[in-house]
Chain A
Amino acid sequence: MLRILWLVPALPLLGVIINGILALFFERPLLLRKYYEDLEKGVHEEDSHGHGAEDHPLFHHWYRQLVSITGPSVVGAAFFVALVCVLILVKRPPHERVFQLDLFTWIQSGEFRTAFSLYLDPLSSVMILVVTGVGFLIHVYSVGYMAHEKGYARYFVYLNLFTFAMLVLVLASNYLLLFVGWEAVGLCSYLLIGYWYEKKSASDAGKKAFIVNRVGDFGFALGMFLLFWTVGSLNFSEVFPKALEMWEAGTLTPAVATAITLLLFVGATGKSAQIPLYVWLPDAMEGPTPVSALIHAATMVTAGVYMVARSNVLYLMSPTTLTVVAVIGGATALFAATIGVAQNDMKRVLAYSTVSQLGYMFLACGVGAFTAGIFHLMTHAFFKALLFLGSGSVMHALAGELDIRKMGGLKKYMPVTFWTFFLATLAISGIPGFSGFFSKDEILWRAFSSPFGGKVFWLLGTVAAFVTAFYMFRMVFLAFFGETRLSPELKEHVHESPKVMTVPLMILAVLSVVGGFVGIPPILGGSNRFEHFLEPVFEKGAELVPAAPHHFSHSLELGLMVLAVLVAAAGIYLAYHFYMKKPELPGKVAEKYPVLYDVVANKYYVDEIYHAIVVYPVYRFSVFLWEVFDVLVVDGIVNGVGRVLLGTGQAVRRLQTGVVHTYAVSLLIGAVILVGYLIFG
């Protein structure tokens, strides 16, 4: 029965094909027609968000209805199949919960063999459920959100393709196939960020994401090569046992393990937007909001976490790498959170929040608490997708307005959006009972208590939690509470979003609330079923973990938990104090510490620094190559070859007399020489 697993990635691919045909043969001709009609009429469509003339046949063609059905339904069907597969898997005893489906041999070269095969275990089960489940909701939401777009079918082609690629990534049975999915999601990310390609900032953001990710992918590829070189395989089912054997035999040294894992982690920093490669994610908000929710919050950016968790055996061999991962994760968590404090664009706040939450996940992986990282990955997928979709709903209502300073009082205009958004905010802030509380608290506790952890990591995480609560509530207070600051025209326009958008919001809100209940820690009377479910994946690596140096009492664990909640509450209160009670206070603070405010508001000038130390030198070097190397050397050689040939031709063409006898004689001489060679040679 588990053989139907191949349907999980195949269904979105089917969607790509159907929607692709619709996009190419129905949408494109209509778009071109509209373009030429506009050109004739002299209409210049500035509004790239497509709220333009909607009486055009383009917007009423039957293909749109078809896309609205196929786009989400293939993903919904994939979710259903995934659910069936996972339920079958769960029926098995814990240690047999691994299933590999070999579809076909993909590359065979000497001893190196890579199959296109799918690998289902508890870890990938969680991932496919999150990808298809959250993905399905976002597809449905997109039907409403993107209804007025010109490139409707194109959007769903990309979105389905992304789902397919992401499923290949998480279901891959070897690093190479994982890398294929890894690159393919990068491609889809690029396509979707640059979805409004007429807009320069959007296409630039797409390119930036693509190029920054190349840096990471380079490291990932190198790590893969090194892994194959040392262990001799890339299949998960072979690599890890073999690596363990070699580790015990001493043929796999800690230095090599560190090199492999660090290189792989470079790839993860690129894809999952960690310091120093996080800069692309905030710019990626140029894409449509559902894309931000799906790719840049719930799924693709977590691929790095998934990869690190998948490679847990290798990572646990190298305490150095683990420390690096934890430090980078913790630093990113705090660093990005502080940037979020001073942003006014709703989606940008959420983008930095995503970077920060991903930092948490890496912090968890870095202290060896992979389950906690995956747990947070899942809960984060729920509430962050919800937050993004909520901001999309606001944007939809306000005709594209995203500046929270110009909102205010939206609560009464759009109650569903407000309540769902509010629940998600509670979840991300770590209020007890909501999903974010359990996963975040698990991470903080493990950061404190794990043999790889330490108090510094706990402190980083706790401070980041405080800042998170502050900036999230700042946004909620500014956007939804208080007096409305909307312009009069917008006030007329503002409305609650249609059902097709609010229903996914509500489902995600439910998940954000209850999603944490699968992992209630024992100290709160739960049994942490999530951790037990994932245990088989991590038990091989667990042998490498040293015994905990000392035992911590339950009261300490409870105390820290309460402390974390208090810290979050303090953040909320601070936000309330600043933005509800004394709205003039933030301005005063900014005036008092102008330098600090400037630095934070400008995102620590990281983009500018990168521009100065990376982009600008590369640019100058390219100009040098063009003006000096290309013009003088390359062109010189090319032109020189041409000139030499021209001159030779001028000289030699005299041989072409046109008289038959000359040719006959030269032929004859050749024959004489040839025969002479055969006789005497």
Chain B
Amino acid sequence: MVPESYYLVLSGIMFAVGVVGVVSRRNALIILMSIEIMLNAVNLAFVAAGSYLGDPAGNVFAFMVMTVAAAEAAVGLAIVIAIFRHRETVDVSELKELKF
């Protein structure tokens, strides 16, 4: 059996990679994908912990997270489309009207 800690460390690494993607990239599509990676990392931790504790709640939570991820992807992509239609860009650093 693989120890629990391996899963959690792997999950942490993946989460951190996703975070790096969110904070360092300008392309809105890649930022959305990075968020998917972060959510996957979290799911991994949930599932691992669930079977470690023998509780189906871990799997149920992973299920809920996936639902949220699907919804988020749909709405996020719709926003990207709307922005692109108006501004002809997917660069988030150009969208900074909401300031001061």
Contact = CB atoms under 8 A, between A and B. Distances in A.
A661 B93 contact: yes
Nearest to A661: B23
A653 B100 CA distance: 5
Interface in A419-471: none
Majority secondary structure, B binding face: loop
Interface string B77-100: 000000000000000110111111
B23 A658 contact: no
A654 B23 contact: no
B99 A656 contact: yes
B23 A664 contact: yes
B19 interface: yes
Contacts of B100: 653-654, 656, 658
A654 B97 CA distance: 13
A660 B95 contact: yes
B22 interface: yes
Interface in A632-681: 653-654, 656-661, 664-665, 668
B96 A658 contact: yes
Interface size of B as a range: 10 to 19
A661 B92 contact: yes
Nearest to B97: A658
Contact of B99 (A658, A664, A665, A668): A658
Contacts of B93: 659-661
A659 B98 CA distance: 8
Contacts of B22: 664
Nearest to B20: A668
B96 A659 contact: yes
A653 B23 CA distance: 22
Contacts of B97: 658
A665 B99 CA distance: 16
Given A654-B100, A658-B97, A658-B98, A668 B92 contact: no
Centre residue among A653, A654, A661, A665 by max chain B CB count within 10 A: A661
B23 A665 contact: yes
B23 A657 contact: no
Contacts of B92: 659-661
A668 B19 contact: yes
Contact of B96 (A654, A657, A665): A657
B16 to A, nearest CB: 10
Interface in B51-100: 92-93, 95-100
Nearest to A657: B99
Nearest to B25: A661
Interface residues of A, number: 11
A522 B14 CA distance: 111
A25 B98 CA distance: 53
Nearest to A671: B19
A659 B19 CA distance: 17
A546 to B, nearest CB: 87
A29 B93 CA distance: 64
Nearest to A659: B96
Nearest to B28: A660
B29 to A, nearest CB: 14
A657 B93 CA distance: 10
Contacts of B98: 656, 658
A660 B95 CA distance: 8
Contacts of A654: 100
A493 B99 CA distance: 82
A363 to B, nearest CB: 80
Nearest to B24: A661
B93 to A, nearest CB: 6
A55 to B, nearest CB: 68
B20 to A, nearest CB: 10
A657 B99 CA distance: 5
Contacts of B23: 661, 664-665, 668
Contacts of A653: 100
Contacts of A658: 95-100
B24 to A, nearest CB: 8
Interface in A5-55: none
A661 B21 CA distance: 11
A654 B99 CA distance: 8
A679 B97 CA distance: 38
A184 B92 CA distance: 69
A109 B43 CA distance: 55
Contacts of A661: 23, 92-93
A469 B98 CA distance: 89
Nearest to B22: A664
B42 to A, nearest CB: 13
B87 to A, nearest CB: 14
A665 B93 CA distance: 14
A497 to B, nearest CB: 79
A659 B82 CA distance: 18
Contacts of A664: 22-23
A668 B98 CA distance: 20
A664 B93 CA distance: 12
A654 B95 CA distance: 17
A668 B93 CA distance: 18
A659 B96 CA distance: 5
Contacts of A660: 92-93, 95
A675 to B, nearest CB: 10
Nearest to B98: A658
Given A664-B22, A668-B19, 11 more contacts: A653-B100, A654-B100, A656-B99, A656-B100, A658-B96, A658-B97, A658-B99, A659-B99, A660-B92, A660-B95, A661-B23
Q: Which 8 A-B pairs have the closest CB atoms?
A: A658-B99, A658-B96, A660-B92, A658-B98, A659-B96, A656-B99, A664-B23, A653-B100
Interface of B: 19, 22-23, 92-93, 95-100
10 contacts: A653-B100, A656-B98, A656-B100, A657-B96, A658-B99, A660-B92, A660-B93, A661-B92, A664-B23, A668-B19
